[in-house]
Chain A
Amino acid sequence: MHDQDLSAALAEAVVDAAAAGRRLRIEGGGSKAFYGRQAEGEPLAVGAHRGIVSYEPTELVLTARAGTPLADIDAALAAQGQMLGFEPPGFGPGATLGGTVACGFSGPRRPYAGSARDFVLGVRLLNGRGENLRFGGEVMKNVAGYDVSRLQVGALGCLGVLLDVSLKVLPRPQAELTLVQDVTLAGAAIERLNRWAGQPLPLSASAWDDGRLYLRLSGAGSAVRAAATSLGGEVLAEDAAAAYWQGLREHTHAFFAGDAPLWRFSVTPAAAPLDLPGATLIEWGGAQRWWRGEAEPAALFALARAAGGHASRFRGGDRGGEVFQPLAPALAALHTGLKASFDPRGVFNPGRLYAGL
């Protein structure tokens, strides 16, 4: 498919839908259709609005249309020895930049390099009136106006149709190495990860899974080698390491197989192991934990809250019910007000994030 700018046609579709009281379900490549609540409305296809608009390697800034495949962006960056610092999962070959930003997904590098929202510099979007608005920009520092750009990250398209996104990008590390250590208990792994995170070590990913602790180190070759010596453990072969982190990021790892609902717990990094039956996979230095199983959502939300964070049903289960941690009433009211300020007629992705939003 070729690069094209469909801003005008998309704006027209939004204006028409708003005028007719119709609702729109925004669709990119469809790779993340599993995520969030079941949205109402007719599809609004944005996948053909695609292409890298500008890329300046020495400025560390890339701007691309929302429908641009993540794979195209990765390839363009790799050709210049750069990458997306938040290492986003695609969850399928169709993954687009817009969907990635709307879902706010970040991969294994997140606790050490930053999240999707940390790397967003600016967006262009259509609000519910079909107006083409630009916020933020293509510079690292910009505090003019409210930070509407980062507000879009993880908003699941409820506040507008993303048209293009500007991102800060990073150089690829000069060297990378993965260590594996035997650590039987989750609590011991969490303790180690948090102790190391408080030290100036070149950590770039971590996971504990079935009694094994995986640590990725990135940076200058000498720094990576020195840290590997001090941390200890078995060095994983380069392709095995790449496959491991890829499988973790894309959820193709064996832990993620099966039909039981997949829950994500985002908690205080050093929180004690969660009281859940069966296996838990721990990532992000302890801050992200995955669990598969059937349970009363309210109980899981309470468990996450007690651990300083929140839970979400990442895949599977009843998508008509709540998928994300319920908000305190005053916060929920603010969400409703913000939604109305961007999308007064409730055109975009009704109910995808929360019922009634």
Chain B
Amino acid sequence: MSAPVNLYTKLAAGVPEHLLLVETEDLRPYECDGLSAYRQVPLLVALPETIEQVQHVLRTCNELRVPVVARGAGTGLSGGALPLAEGVLLSLAKFNRVLDIDPVNRTARVQPGVRNLAISQAVSDLGLYYAPDPSSQIACTIGGNVAENAGGVHCLKYGLTVHNIQSIELVTMTGERLTIGSQALDSAGFDLLALLTGSEGLLGVIVEVTVKLLPKPQVAQVVMAAFDRVDTAGAAVGRIIAEGIIPGGLEMMDQGCIQAAEDYLHAGYPTGAAAILLCELDGTAEEVAEQMEQVQALLRDAGATELRVSRNEQERLLFWAGRKAAFPAVGRLSPDYYCMDGTIPRKELPRVLNGIEALSQEFGLRVLNVFHAGDGNLHPLILFDANREGQLHAAEELGGRILELCVEVGGAITGEHGVGMEKINQMCVQFRREEIVQFHALKAAFDPHGLLNPGKAVPTLNRCAEYGAMRVSRGELRFPELERF
């Protein structure tokens, strides 16, 4: 046991000992999240079963000034749940119950360790569902979804996590329990629910979530359109939206991804195309039928070389299967791949794709692209081999350069995966010194000693200075007043 006796004893005063892990072999499974390039065994893992135990852990750690990293299912892709060697890893895995379903008010009160998909399954018989559907929805949990403001393929029409939750129960670093939000559509005072959503575990620990439920659409139908140029496909997306249609899902895949997905799944994708669009319309039967006619006409007019409309539910799922399996399909092409998460104004797509292609050649690594085209969220997949000297490092640097390109065209370094550990340097490109100082001040209002998930999401000024010294951005040295070391 390497945890200090004092910490262990004090934690054990409020948490049963079998819920405190200290042996290295017990700690090992917690050393990383979905971004396995970063690994660190924590000092101790606490697996509380009650909110009182969570309060006890946080209160104790606050007194002893021990940092705490909260963890849900560990599916995050930005290293947000990476433990600290000198810190406690607080797993919410045991909070896995649906507490209450209110079909009349269309809400579900759930513990943070409930899986995203399990919520929709629990309310399916009522004709309801929970809209945000990150691709990891089979495994990821709602607490982590709130902490990351998770998205999915239906965001343009149905919003992100922040648009689909009503309240949370939060425990602060001092062990205080707060209700944020209400059972109404808004609440008194500052909109802390919006602030906490996507705060990456730096402001508090979520111990309960009340989500909004939506009626399941009567019908969904998807049209697949092939294009011989990527920019034509991008322009077609703009045409659909300009026509006043907000599709339930609107996805684009580039040639490399189409080929990989087709080889893997045989969904019938046109492998000769430069890009395909998958456009899903949902709603009432009348609405879908009417808009499907319009969309097909628009796509044809916008230069689609081939159109295929799903004729039944089985075919709709098949069209989506290729897209949803894009990551494992790409995984067959390469020993390792690295998934990026930038957002851009959609009109900048051709410029960004050209830029990515140039970077791909510069670094000698292949990049494939899947794109939530409706909302401008690009997921470039960088192929590499971690066993080859220097390739992981090159992949990370290439990824960083892609994100900086997204910032340059007016976009953002992360649309739905979060900053975590992974994009901490790019935060220095996205934000200026005063903005980062403001972020730190805001955190201090919740966590004065900086003990919740320190080192993630918001870089220190010194870190930005170091990064700035490596890269001179936009012709000027950032943070020039800080010393370099």
Chain A positions near chain B (C-beta within 8 angstroms): 56-61, 80-81, 104, 110-111, 114-115, 117-118, 127, 131-135, 137-148, 150-151, 153-155, 158-159, 170-174, 194-195, 197-202, 219-223, 225-227, 266-270, 284, 287-288, 307-310, 312, 324-328, 330-331, 334-335, 337-338, 340-342, 353-354
Contact yes or no, B104 A194, CB < 8 A: yes
Number of residues of chain B lying within 8 A (CB) of chain A: 94
Contact yes or no, A337 B446, CB < 8 A: yes
Residues of A within 8 A of B430 (CB): 144-145
Residues of B within 8 A of A127 (CB): 438
Residues of B within 8 A of A148 (CB): 195, 438-439, 442
Contact yes or no, A324 B414, CB < 8 A: no
Contact yes or no, A141 B415, CB < 8 A: yes
Residues of A within 8 A of B148 (CB): 143
A270 to B458, CA, bound (A): 41
Give the shortest distance, in Å, between A116 (CB) and chain B (any CB): 10
User: Which of chain B's residues has its CB closest to A139's CB?
Assistant: B343
Which one of A134, A151, A341 lies within 8 Å of B191 (CB-CB)?
A151
User: Which of chain B's residues has its CB closest to A219's CB?
Assistant: B287
A144 to B241, CA, bound (A): 26
Contact yes or no, B376 A139, CB < 8 A: yes
Q: Does chain A have a CB within 8 A of B192?
A: yes
Which one of A58, A131, A142 lies within 8 Å of B343 (CB-CB)?
A142
User: Which of chain B's residues has its CB closest to A158's CB?
Assistant: B190
Closest 3 CB pairs of A and B: A309-B184, A308-B183, A337-B445
Which one of A133, A310, A335, A337 lies within 8 Å of B438 (CB-CB)?
A133
Residues of B within 8 A of A328 (CB): 178-179
Q: Does chain A have a CB within 8 A of B453?
A: no
Contact yes or no, B412 A144, CB < 8 A: yes
Residues of B within 8 A of A312 (CB): 188
Q: Does chain A have a CB within 8 A of B274?
A: no
Q: Does chain A have a CB within 8 A of B339?
A: no
A131 to B438, CA, bound (A): 10
Give the interface centre of B106, B176, B284, B432 by most chain A CB atoms within 10 Å.
B284
User: Which of chain B's residues has its CB closest to A287's CB?
Assistant: B185
Contact yes or no, A150 B191, CB < 8 A: yes
User: Which of chain A's residues has its CB closest to B291's CB?
Assistant: A220
* A133/B435 contact (C-beta < 8 A), A144-B413, A288-B185 known: yes
Contact yes or no, B284 A266, CB < 8 A: no
A159 to B191, CA, bound (A): 12
Q: Does chain A have a CB within 8 A of B187?
A: yes
Give the shortest distance, in Å, between B339 (CB) and chain A (any CB): 15
The segment from B28-36, B215-223, B224-232, B257-265 found at the interface with A is B215-223
A143 to B430, CA, bound (A): 11
Contact yes or no, B345 A139, CB < 8 A: yes
User: Which of chain B's residues has its CB closest to A288's CB?
Assistant: B185
The digit string for B313-333, where 1 denotes a CB below 8 A from any CB of A, is: 000000000000000000000
Give the shortest distance, in Å, between A277 (CB) and chain B (any CB): 22
A334 to B432, CA, bound (A): 25
Residues of A within 8 A of B149 (CB): 143, 147
